[in-house]
Chain A
Amino acid sequence: MDTTVPQRFVVPIGPQHPALKEPGHFEFTVDGEQVTGASVRLGYAHRGIEKATEGRNWVQNLYLLERICGICSHVHATAYCLGVEKLAGVTPPPRAQAIRVLVAELERIHSHLLWLGVAAHEAGFDTLFMYSWRDRETVMDILEALTGNRVNYSANLLGGVKFDLTSELTDKIYKGLELLEERTYQYVDVVTSDATLLQRTRGVGVTTREQAEQLGLVGPTARASGVERDIRVEAPYAAYPDFPVKVVTATAGDLEARFVVRLQELFEAYRLIRAVLEKLPPGELQARMPRKIKPAETVSRVEAPRGELFYFIKSNGTDQPERIKVRTPTLCNLASVCVLAVGSQLADVPMILAGVDPCFSCNDRMVTVYSGDTDHTQWTWKQLRQYGIDYYRR
């Protein structure tokens, strides 16, 4: 072997849970421990949802789109509902809009606490992971009590929401928030003072403000680098005009700043939820929606827990959409991993990856099932169903 030629070592990470329990494939070129190049390959959880929307009616699509993501399902449904309502010229009642905000903020709490656990786990701090997921159960219980579901809450309807708040539920939320608030102070203290965690986060994966803008980052990832980008503030939707949000930013741009920004956003979420509960407008829960929508197109943007979620919706005069385009925040943020990882230590890569809070199922929207090594054809629904039945019979 000619030893004078430098060897290029490629370390494949994924598709089986690279850092997270979701599929994505990365290839890192390394020189010793240092990463010199990176590339990404997605699609392992792609389900063809954009295509599927074109064959379903407006109501059916609400349930389909809500299932793009199990973590931020409400925000997908909200973006879709707001867009379709705009196309149909329907204004949902103020009470419904306020309840949408309430659920969206509860969802943000659950998502950020989930991320805190995952990121702590990646850093090898499993105690923090277990504490944060235990406390997350508080908000999961609230969501279940409100909507009947822990995930895919299905709170939205076209033209409004499905459920109302009772005084019992309100008490439960206040009580839950009290506990969560107390715990969040503790978490802020831990992530800014624990020496072992700080070794994994402080000064790691630094993204400057300029880089964040050039990379097109969104959400808490961008805000941790000082970019004040938040759709709830820039283009308030639903009831956000009545319940203004204070943007939380940090300037350091490292992983520690991302921890701090997400945790500070929790306090903002608690404040917003209390404000909504105090000033919940009275009235109806749903406005009447037409079945067919005249040809038009619109853009609907909302702030998901991970950043800006973009929907482009085009109607064609029937009860089915002509085209629905979904651009999730993870796609914006994931590409940055390939840039940020270059120059860092290979061991820091999982943390950098977890730092953007990627959500692969949001990103991917189609699946091909292989029935063995030789037969690489797509399965029909019937075949897939039969496979499932046979598998569990064995």
Chain B
Amino acid sequence: MDTQEALKSAEALLTGYASTRSEENRLDGTLAPENLCAVVSNLVAARWGYLMAITGLDQVTLGQLEILYHFGAGAAILTLRIPLPRIPIPSVDSICPIIPYANVYERELGEMFGVEFRNSPNTDRLFLPDDWRSAVYPLRKDAVLNEE
């Protein structure tokens, strides 16, 4: 599928949600957390690309933590952006019931940024040591990592 065609069909799938073309080959859609699973189900049902990665963005000045779900179809990239409040621990529905392999991405994001994934089949630590101090999320901008 042509990149622009792919982006157009992604736009159609995102009808009703705010979306912008952030780059030539990219479409960004901003969603409320409760709509995430519905949109992801639509993408999967339409066989639009595959989930490439989940990124966390800690925006201290805005007081929010944004979760970015990147989907790719050829050169076209669709990013679903979920802005959440930083405090208390934000929570969002797990997309594992729809895309099972998202689990490793969610586990990484959960422990690194302190995000709770509801209905996740597995929320064990993936990368951090077993004795890592609880409530220290290393990739948050204000994380204190060195206690001397």
Asked if A279 lies at the interface with its beta carbon under 8 angstroms from chain B, I say no
Within 8 A of A (CB), among B1-42: 22-23, 25-26
Distance between A231 CB and nearest chain B CB, rounded to angstroms: 9
Asked if A41 lies at the interface with its beta carbon under 8 angstroms from chain B, I say yes
Within 8 A of B (CB), among A31-75: 39-43, 46, 48, 50-51, 54
The one of A299, A323, A331, A364 in contact with B104, judged by C-beta atoms closer than 8 angstroms, is A331
Determine the residue in chain A with the shortest Cβ distance to B75.
A235
What is the size, in residues, of chain A's interface with B at 8 Å between Cβ atoms? 41
Do residues B101 and A216 form an inter-chain contact, with CB atoms below 8 A?
yes
Q: 1/0 contact trace for B125-140 toward A, CB 8 Å?
A: 1111101100000110
Known: A41-B126, A234-B75, A327-B52. A378 touches B145 (CB 8 A): yes
Distance between B55 CB and nearest chain A CB, rounded to angstroms: 4
Q: For B77, B129, B146, which residue has the most chain A Cβ atoms within 10 angstroms?
A: B129
Please report the number of residue pairs spanning A and B whose Cβ atoms sit closer than 8 angstroms: 87
Distance between A87 CB and nearest chain B CB, rounded to angstroms: 10
Listed stretches A173-181, A189-197, A307-315; interface member = A307-315
Do residues B147 and A377 form an inter-chain contact, with CB atoms below 8 A?
yes
Asked if A344 lies at the interface with its beta carbon under 8 angstroms from chain B, I say no
Do residues A376 and B131 form an inter-chain contact, with CB atoms below 8 A?
yes
Do residues A298 and B23 form an inter-chain contact, with CB atoms below 8 A?
yes
Do residues B74 and A366 form an inter-chain contact, with CB atoms below 8 A?
no
Determine the residue in chain A with the shortest Cβ distance to B68.
A312
Known: A216-B51, A335-B101. A43 touches B145 (CB 8 A): no
Q: For B103, B125, B127, which residue has the most chain A Cβ atoms within 10 angstroms?
A: B127
B101 contact set on A, CB distance < 8 A: 214-216, 332, 335-336
A312 contact set on B, CB distance < 8 A: 53, 55, 68, 70
Q: 1/0 contact trace for B98-140 toward A, CB 8 Å?
A: 0111011100100000000000001011111101100000110
A314 contact set on B, CB distance < 8 A: 57
A365 contact set on B, CB distance < 8 A: 127
B77 contact set on A, CB distance < 8 A: 299
What is the size, in residues, of chain B's interface with A at 8 Å between Cβ atoms? 42
Within 8 A of B (CB), among A83-99: none
Known: A42-B126, A43-B126, A43-B127. A380 touches B57 (CB 8 A): no
Asked if A319 lies at the interface with its beta carbon under 8 angstroms from chain B, I say no
Determine the residue in chain A with the shortest Cβ distance to B74.
A234
Taken together as a complex, chains A and B put the C-alpha atoms of A48 and B125 apart, in Å, by: 15
Asked if A325 lies at the interface with its beta carbon under 8 angstroms from chain B, I say yes
Determine the residue in chain B with the shortest Cβ distance to A379.
B146
Distance between A161 CB and nearest chain B CB, rounded to angstroms: 24
Asked if A368 lies at the interface with its beta carbon under 8 angstroms from chain B, I say yes
Do residues B146 and A323 form an inter-chain contact, with CB atoms below 8 A?
no
B68 contact set on A, CB distance < 8 A: 312
B104 contact set on A, CB distance < 8 A: 331, 334-335
A378 contact set on B, CB distance < 8 A: 145-147
Q: 1/0 contact trace for A269-312 toward B, CB 8 Å?
A: 00000000000000000000000000001110100000010101
Can you identify 22 A-B contacts, CB atoms within 8 angstroms? Answer: A41-B124, A54-B141, A215-B100, A215-B101, A216-B99, A301-B52, A308-B52, A310-B53, A314-B57, A323-B55, A327-B53, A334-B104, A335-B101, A335-B104, A364-B127, A366-B127, A366-B128, A368-B129, A376-B131, A378-B145, A378-B146, A378-B147
What is the interface of chain B, defined by CB distance below 8 A to chain A?
22-23, 25-26, 50-53, 55-58, 68, 70, 72, 74-75, 77, 79, 99-101, 103-105, 108, 122, 124-129, 131-132, 138-139, 141, 145-148
Besides A299-B79, A308-B52, A368-B132, 14 other A-B contacts (C-beta < 8 A) = A42-B127, A43-B127, A46-B127, A46-B128, A50-B139, A51-B139, A214-B101, A234-B74, A299-B26, A323-B55, A327-B53, A331-B105, A376-B131, A378-B147
